[in-house]
Structure 1
Amino acid sequence: MDIIDKKILAVWYVCSITKEDPMQLCIKKTSLSEEYLSQRISALEKNGAIEKNRLTEFGRSALRIVLAGGVFDIIHPGHIHTLNAAKALGDVLVVVVATDNTAIKMKKRKPLHHETLRQELINSLVMVDTCIVGNDGDIFKTVEIVKPNVIALGYDQVHQEKFIIDGCRKINLEVQVARLQSPIPEFSSSKIEKEYGEAIHGL
Structure 2
Amino acid sequence: MSPKLKTPEQLAALRDEYAAAGRRLVFTNGCFDLLHVGHVRYLQAARALGDALLVAVNGDVSVRALKGPTRPINNEQDRAEVLGALGCVDYLTIFHTDRVTDLVRAIRPQVYAKGGDYTVASLDAGERDALEAVGAEIQILPLVPGKSTTNIIETWKS
Q: Structure 2 residue aligned with 1:129, among 69, 90, 95?
A: 90
- RMSD (Å), alpha carbons: 2.8
* Partners of 2:26 and 2:112 within 8 A in 1: yes
Q: Structure 2 residue aligned with 1:17, among 4, 7, 10?
A: 10
CA distance in 1, matches of 2:156, 2:26: 33
> 1:141 Cα deviation (Å)?
1.4
Partner of 2:50: 90
CA distance in 2, matches of 1:58, 1:188: 35
* Partners of 1:165 and 1:175 within 8 A in 2: no
Matches within 5 A, 1:82-161: 82-109=42-69, 110-157=71-118, 160-161=122-123
Which structure: greater helix fraction? Answer: 1
> 1:86 Cα deviation (Å)?
0.3
% identical aligned pairs: 26
Matches within 5 A, 1:1-203: 17=10, 57=16, 60-61=19-20, 62-109=22-69, 110-157=71-118, 160-161=122-123, 163=125, 164-169=127-132, 172-182=133-143, 184-198=144-158
Gaps of 5+ in 1: 1-10, 19-53, 199-203
- The number of residue pairs the alignment matches comes to 149
CA distance in 2, matches of 1:115, 1:68: 16
* Partners of 2:30 and 2:58 within 8 A in 1: yes
Amino acid in the other structure paired with 2:75: H
> 1:75 Cα deviation (Å)?
0.6
Could you say which structure has the greater relative contact order, defined with CA pairs below 8 angstroms and 6 or more residues apart? 2
TM-score, length of structure 2 as denominator length: 0.80
CA distance in 1, matches of 2:47, 2:30: 15
1:128-169 Cα shifts (integer Å, max 9, x gaps): 001111231341111133220111001124773582331234
TM-score, length of structure 1 as denominator length: 0.64
> 1:177 Cα deviation (Å)?
0.7
